[in-house]
Amino acid sequence: MTTQRGAINPLALTMGEPGGVGAEITVSAWHKLRGSGLCFFVLSSVDLFETAGVPIREINAPSETAKVFDDALPVLPLGQSVSMTLGEASPGNASAVIASIDKAVGYALSGEASAVVTNPIQKSSLIASGFKFPGHTEFLADLTNNTPMPNGRTRGPVMMLAGPALKTVPVTIHQSVASAAADLSAAMVEKVAKVTAEALQFDFGVANPRLAISGLNPHAGEDGALGKEDLAEIAPAVASLKKRGVDARGPLPADTMFHEEARATYDAALCMLHDQALIPAKTLAFHDAVNVTLGLPIIRTSPDHGTALDIAGKGLARADSLLAAIRLAATMAESRASAQ
């Protein structure tokens, strides 16, 4: 029988977009982890796994996970059915997709689950159904907003893409380039840097975190000739961080921050735009990197990829990033449990 790894409770996996690769990578992850001592349950409509070719077991509570996990995939039913066509996202399933995230967060807040690991959602489909958030990151922040942060840590949310050779953090997340540039402020850069430094220290075991902070514009603005934000917002933020004892450098030209020698000089790169951060992370480690939300009162990780509708159901989807997300969530949960 599987024992819960260390002192931690099982992980809660969300269903994700039913037409995407979420179910098949969840099944692959179950095959890989059964018998390992690390266990999870999936909050899902049971229909999604009925034809998955693995034994499933409906459970009533997270606490039933460990005794089931070696023999069957534990499914905690949402009580809603989904109509699924692999390769297609359906706004009609939005309420089940959202309920899965909502309930997983509830179990993490109550402590019955040690962390939430999300399967990919099709944002356009949820937004078409009236969902008001551009991604999990913002939705999770909203769901947990009234819960105090543990140990006085700084509240985010902050997105980190964590791979074996690079951790990147976009300061602005799901917004247009034009609005990101308009919104960027020294206060935002400072807050994201603070959340990142705390996470590196307490969740990733980096005693003295070193942050490399990018510019917004080409050549970090070329002394103001190619844009004003680098001098007006980012440089003062870096100066203030240094004054507060944070090992921060910047604004650095983003195009020369990611080669091997540059990466050796920092523990995380803060970037001003979503793509500045996510392109290098996914280019270096598409199948190994994990999307972690920092600055929440709960632990949340996710694979770095999306719904992959183009390959859903074709047996091509790799579960490596989901497995990395599960393992990282467990490691973070163990480290928080042992710190208490």
Ligand X SMILES: N[C@H](C(=O)O)[C@H](O)COP(=O)(O)O
Ligand Y SMILES: NC(=O)c1ccc[n+]([C@@H]2O[C@H](COP(=O)([O-])OP(=O)(O)OC[C@H]3O[C@@H](n4cnc5c(N)ncnc54)[C@H](O)[C@@H]3O)[C@@H](O)[C@H]2O)c1
Q: Where along the sequence are the contacts to ligand X (CB under 6 A)?
A: 135-137, 278, 291, 302, 304
Site string for ligand Y, 1-30 (x = CB under 6 A): --------------------x---x-----
Compute the least distance from the CB of residue 329 to ligand X, in Å.
13
Beta bridge partners of 56: 73
Compute the least distance from the CB of residue 322 to ligand Y, in Å.
7
Distance from C-alpha of 216 to C-alpha of 212, rounded to nearest angstrom: 13
Compute the least distance from the CB of residue 37 to ligand X, in Å.
27
Compute the least distance from the CB of residue 307 to ligand X, in Å.
10
Determine, following the binding rule CB under 6 A, whether residue 188 of this chain makes contact with ligand Y.
no
Compute the least distance from the CB of residue 159 to ligand X, in Å.
6
Determine, following the binding rule CB under 6 A, whether residue 310 of this chain makes contact with ligand Y.
yes
Toward ligand X, which CB reaches closer, 4 or 137?
137
- Tell me which stretch binds ligand Y (CB under 6 A): 99-107, 226-234, 265-273, 308-316: 308-316
Residue nearest to ligand Y (CB): 306
- Tell me which stretch binds ligand Y (CB under 6 A): 39-47, 109-117, 140-148, 299-307: 299-307
| Residues in 83-122 at the binding interface with ligand Y, rule: CB under 6 A | 118, 120-122
Determine, following the binding rule CB under 6 A, whether residue 302 of this chain makes contact with ligand Y.
yes
Signed CA dihedral, 61, 326, 167, 288: sign only = negative
Rounded to the nearest 10°, the torsion over CA 317, 318, 321, 322 is: 70
Query: Judged by CB under 6 A, how many residues of this single chain contact ligand Y?
Result: 20
Q: Which of 189, 244, 243 is nearest to 216 (CA)?
A: 189
The partner in contact with residue 278, picked from ligand X, ligand Y, none with C-beta cut-offs of 5 to 8 angstroms by kind, is ligand X
Toward ligand X, which CB reaches closer, 45 or 172?
172
Structure tokens at 121: 């959602």
The partner in contact with residue 311, picked from ligand X, ligand Y, none with C-beta cut-offs of 5 to 8 angstroms by kind, is ligand Y
Compute the least distance from the CB of residue 281 to ligand X, in Å.
9
Toward ligand Y, which CB reaches closer, 10 or 22?
22
Q: How far is CA 149 from CA 117, 196, 279, 310, in A?
A: 19, 15, 30, 39
Compute the least distance from the CB of residue 137 to ligand Y, in Å.
9
| Residues in 217-246 at the binding interface with ligand Y, rule: CB under 6 A | none
Toward ligand Y, which CB reaches closer, 121 or 195?
121
Determine, following the binding rule CB under 6 A, whether residue 136 of this chain makes contact with ligand Y.
yes
Footprint on this chain of ligand Y (rule: CB under 6 A): 21, 25, 118, 120-124, 136, 291, 302, 305-308, 310-311, 316-318
